[in-house]
Amino acid sequence: MMIKNNDNVSPYQIAMIIIMSVISVGVFSIASDAADAAGTDGWLVIALAGALNILAVVIIVKLNSRFPGKTFAEYSQIVIGTILGKILTFLFAAYLLLVIAYVTRAFTEVIKIFLLFRTPTEVIMLSLILVCTYIVRGGVECIARINELIFPILFIPFFIVLFFGLPLMDFSNLLPVLQTPADKMLTAIPSLIFSFGGIELALFYIGFMKNPRKAYKPAIIAVLFITLFLVMVTVFCIATFGKNATTQFLWPLVNYIRAISLPGLFIERLDGVILSLWMLTVFTTIVSAYFIVSYSISKVVGTKEQKQYVLPLAIIIYYLALQPDSLAELYEWGAAIFPYAITSFLYAVPIILLLIAKLRKLGVR
């Protein structure tokens, strides 16, 4: 008989999921954060943060390989006990809910600035969340496939647009290199970590693979790709505007794309292109996290299906996203919560769980 839902994620899809959930609203502001933190050496800090995250992702895959066929929601209950595991999973889900609400709200504000000046925030937000619920109800297979499908749709035009700006750049803006003292560089790393938030979703998605050991290569490649992409964006922005101007922008990448104008190009302003790219990144980030939230809750409650939690969660996300009054307030909230949440879920939790599992000799090997 035909397999109805095989719930399998291929190694290639793991790479896609990691890339697409990390590349999000952050990519538009990273150049300014980096320039803020380390001036012309900002891109080096990103590269360092990337190297750190390769380590993190290796730990995540190691942890998952001990429990093949199990996701974080399942093996955390084995490692630290049912109740503690459930609490941890619930905390994870709560953090992801905040991420979704943050991304949704940030994107809504962008839409209001660029395209729909008079449309109410509520309408924009609700329509986006509802579109996301449709795919999330489809299950992990659909999430994996949509990430795989959108990857080329996003990155091919993205690269083309980015390279159109080459004539604008003056690479002497990147000089001097390595002026920042080493200790300042290291302290700058945490401020850029939020740009890598999303890797921790691998804790769950690798659990849907047939053989989690095969995740090492795609996961490392994914983090490498992300790092290179972010470095590239930062270099391009700093090279175009110089480090001082870059720090002044809210979204340097947007200013960069807007600065591109090619004679004979049909579209005068690339706002539509920016918006479309932005929307794709936001959409994939939201759905990947959204699925994990509904999945975690179904595991915490102990039901088989995750479908029924999707729509009620939409209401919670909507409510959370409505809380900040302005973009500035939203960014304050984000800066207050996410660095800690990401540090704990991306680094602390996997390392601690791996150690406990090793000490208690749980799982395979």
The residues binding another protein (CB under 8 A) are 1-4, 10-13, 111, 115-116, 119, 123-124, 127-128, 131, 134-135, 138, 142, 144-146, 148-150, 266-269, 271-272, 275-276, 279-280, 283
- At closest approach, how far in Å is the CB of 216 from another protein? 17
Select 142 or 185, whichever has its Cβ closest to another protein: 142
Which pair of structure tokens corresponds to residue 330? Answer: 């939203």
Cα Rg, the chain, nearest whole Å = 20
Select 11 or 334, whichever has its Cβ closest to another protein: 11
Question: Residue 103, exposed/middle/buried by CB under 10 A (0-12, 13-18, 19+)?
Answer: buried
Select 85 or 207, whichever has its Cβ closest to another protein: 207
Select 36 or 148, whichever has its Cβ closest to another protein: 148
* DSSP-assigned letter for residue 231: H
CA gap 354, 167 in Å, rounded: 49
The per-residue b/e assignment along 323-359, b for 16 or more CB within 10 angstroms, e otherwise, is ebeebeebbebbeeebbebbebbbbebbbebbeebee
Select 10 or 344, whichever has its Cβ closest to another protein: 10
Select 90 or 225, whichever has its Cβ closest to another protein: 225
In sequence order, what DSSP letters do the residues of 100-156 get, joined into one string?
HHHHHHHHHHHHHHHT-SSS-HHHHHHHHHHHHHHHHTT-HHHHHHHHHHHHHHHHH
- At closest approach, how far in Å is the CB of 14 from another protein? 10
Contact 225, 22 (CB under 8 A): no
CA gap 164, 270 in Å, rounded: 12
CA gap 56, 51 in Å, rounded: 9
Residues 6+ apart with CB under 8 A from 51: 227
- At closest approach, how far in Å is the CB of 224 from another protein? 19
Select 176 or 272, whichever has its Cβ closest to another protein: 272
Select 276 or 323, whichever has its Cβ closest to another protein: 276
CA gap 334, 342 in Å, rounded: 11
CA gap 124, 312 in Å, rounded: 18
Contact 226, 22 (CB under 8 A): yes
- At closest approach, how far in Å is the CB of 127 from another protein? 6
- At closest approach, how far in Å is the CB of 137 from another protein? 9
- At closest approach, how far in Å is the CB of 135 from another protein? 4
CA gap 118, 115 in Å, rounded: 9
* DSSP-assigned letter for residue 165: T
CA gap 219, 18 in Å, rounded: 7
Select 5 or 248, whichever has its Cβ closest to another protein: 5
* DSSP-assigned letter for residue 56: H
- At closest approach, how far in Å is the CB of 2 from another protein? 4
- At closest approach, how far in Å is the CB of 84 from another protein? 36
- At closest approach, how far in Å is the CB of 211 from another protein? 14
- At closest approach, how far in Å is the CB of 241 from another protein? 23
Select 1 or 175, whichever has its Cβ closest to another protein: 1
